[in-house]
Chain A
Amino acid sequence: MRASTLIGMIASAVLSTACATTSQFPDRQLAESRASVRVAEALGATADPHAATYLEIARGQMKDADRAIALRDYWLAERSLRSAQANAELAAALAREANARAEAVDMQRQVQALRARVP
């Protein structure tokens, strides 16, 4: 167990190192992640608790990425940005779901009201 962990860590370190060495400034990923966060915000992810949780995580990861970029750790920055994009996209999907649910509930409430009014 310890040996395998050790080996994994070594492998990871090798991989990371390899990646780090080959990493460049993640301009494309940064743009995509920011766009994903903006989309989630625009969809009202802050209004839905579930979506807001992931949006908050995404924002934190965006800051992590900013800090990594400041340290020129582009590998770590790109990882944070990818994770932030995934969280932001989930927040956006959850916000869309919440919006759709809210709209459906609203519509069904109108239908109920109408049915109650017109037997």
Chain B
Amino acid sequence: MRLINVVLGLSLTACAAQTVTSRELVNARIAYAHAASSNAPSDAPRSLEVARGTLNAAEEEHAFDPGSMRERELAFLAMRRAQAAMADANARAAQRDAQLARDELRRNAEEAKRAAESAQAQTQQARAQAEAATKQAQAEAERRQAAEQQATSARLSLEQAERNLADVHSQLSAQGDKLDEQTKQLREREASLQAQVEALRTQRDQAERERADAQRQRDRVAEELRKVGEVAEENRGLVLTLPSEVMFRYGQASLLPRAKEKLDELANALQDLGPDQKFVVEGHTDSRGSVAFNQELSQRRANTVRAYLIERGVDPDRIEAVGRGEVEPVASNANPEGRANNRRVEIVVTPPAVSRR
């Protein structure tokens, strides 16, 4: 075999000058050069090395036996392996590109994840804030509701108070009307009373005037009577006492001359008193003699005095004669002086009719 190869090599060498490089080897060289100038040395060094080794084998075969079947076969393998090295390099570059893109996608995914986490945190924060705000709003709403209830209650109370006030007003108004009516009635009553008071005052003044008049009358009567004799002011009226010794003889009823003088004065005085003044002539005796005689004597003496006064111009209707006998002594009948005082004629001027009303 070796021997044959040597022979063949010699024969081939002899023909080399006339032999061109096979098409397969040319294509292999081109394919390898193409691969070697690409990124295959860095991205597919092993594949390229395999292709290089195969091309070298083809070149050796070419050098040994140019254009041989073996050369062409090895050159074909070298071309395919160079092409495969290119493909491997391209695949490697594509893988690198894909890896770069994948890395970028991963970075983006991580950024997106971080962004999502941040967004989630923000969302949670916002949710917490929203919940807080909701709670606050609820509390606010509850406070507002309570305030509205208070306001409603206050308004109801106010309305009740206003109704009460209106009731009180109407009551007051009614009471005011009543009071006005009562006031009016009281005013009328006051006016009536005032009129009555006025009338009473007038009456009182009238009465006082009349009383003063009566007093003056009495004073005047007393003045007139004192011209005649002793005058006493008693409850029954003014009493003028005329002693019997001055008037009558003892045991008789006829008048002494001095008595007529006195009675003339008395008659003048009585005339001065006016027509309405009435008076009583009372006859009194002492206790000597019988009661009946004394009674009868005192009556007759009184009658005598009345008759004389009427004779001297006194109106008979104004004058009354009464015999009192011995029953109304003014002193003791035990001694002469006392008995002399008890024998008397009294002119009783009754108080004026006006003052007795």
Q: How far is the CA of A114 from the CA of B85 in the complex (A)?
A: 34
- Please tell me which stretch of B69-77, B209-217, B274-282 contacts chain A, meaning at least 4 of its Cβ atoms lie within 8 angstroms of it: B69-77
Q: How far is the CA of A101 from the CA of B8 in the complex (A)?
A: 48
Q: Chain A residues near B245: list those with CB within 8 A.
A: none
A3 touching B87, Cβ below 8 Å: no
> How far does the Cβ of B214 sit from chain A's closest Cβ, in whole Å?
141
Contact status B83-A90, CB under 8 Å = yes
B120: A residues at CB distance < 8 A: none
Q: Chain A residues near B97: list those with CB within 8 A.
A: 104, 107-108
Whether A32 sits at the interface, judged by CB under 8 Å, is no
Neighbouring A residues of B1 by C-beta, 8 Å: 18
Residue contact A11 to B88, C-beta cutoff 8 Å: no
Q: Is the CB of B91 within 8 A of A93?
A: yes
Which residues of A sit under 8 angstroms from B108, Cβ to Cβ? 111, 114, 118
> Binding site of A, secondary structure by majority: helix, strand, loop or mixed?
helix
Contacting residues, chain A, for B73 (C-beta < 8 A):
79, 82-83
B328: Cβ under 8 A from any A Cβ: no
CB distance from B34 to the nearest CB of A (A): 14
* A24 within 8 A of partner (CB): no
Secondary structure type dominating chain B contacts? helix
Measured CB to CB, the nearest residue on chain B to A79 is: B73
Is the Cβ of A90 less than 8 Å from the Cβ of B77? Answer: no
User: In the bound complex, how far is the Cα of B88 from the Cα of A87, in angstroms?
Assistant: 14
Task: Tell me if B19 is interfacial: C-beta within 8 Å of chain A.
Answer: yes
Q: Which of A82, A90, A99 contacts B84 (CB 8 A)?
A: A90
How far does the alpha carbon of A14 sit from the alpha carbon of B88 in the complex, in Å? 38
Report yes or no: A108 in contact with B18, Cβ–Cβ below 8 A. no
Q: Is the CB of A11 within 8 A of B84?
A: no
A86–B101 contact, CB under 8 A?
A: no
**Interface membership of A31, Cβ < 8 A:** no
Chain B residues positioned under 8 Å from A89 (CB to CB): 80-81, 84
| CB–CB B87/A90 < 8 A | yes
- B90 neighbours in A (Cβ, 8 Å): 97, 100-101
Q: In B59-117, which residues have CB < 8 Å from any A CB?
A: 65, 67-70, 73, 76-77, 80-81, 83-85, 87-88, 90-95, 97-98, 101-102, 104-105, 108
The CA of A79 and the CA of B65, in the complex, are separated in Å by 18
B-contacting residues, A33-61, CB 8 Å: none
B15 interface residue per 8 A CB criterion: yes
Name B4's contact: one of A18, A96, A107 (CB within 8 Å): A18
CA A16 to CA B68, docked complex, whole Å: 10
Instruction: Say if the beta carbon of B247 comes within 8 Å of chain A.
Output: no
Q: How far is the CA of A82 from the CA of B74 in the complex (A)?
A: 10
Contact digits for B1-40, partner A, Cβ 8 Å, 1 yes 0 no:
1001000100110010011000000000000000000000
B84 contact set on A, CB distance < 8 A: 89-90, 92-94
- Taking CB atoms, residues of chain B closer than 8 Å to A1 are 18
Interface pairs A-B: 10 shortest CB-CB? A107-B101, A100-B94, A93-B87, A86-B80, A104-B98, A93-B84, A104-B97, A97-B91, A100-B91, A104-B94
Given A14-B4, A87-B80, A90-B83, 14 more contacts at CB 8 Å?
A11-B68, A15-B69, A15-B70, A82-B77, A83-B73, A90-B84, A93-B84, A97-B88, A97-B94, A100-B94, A104-B95, A108-B97, A108-B98, A114-B105
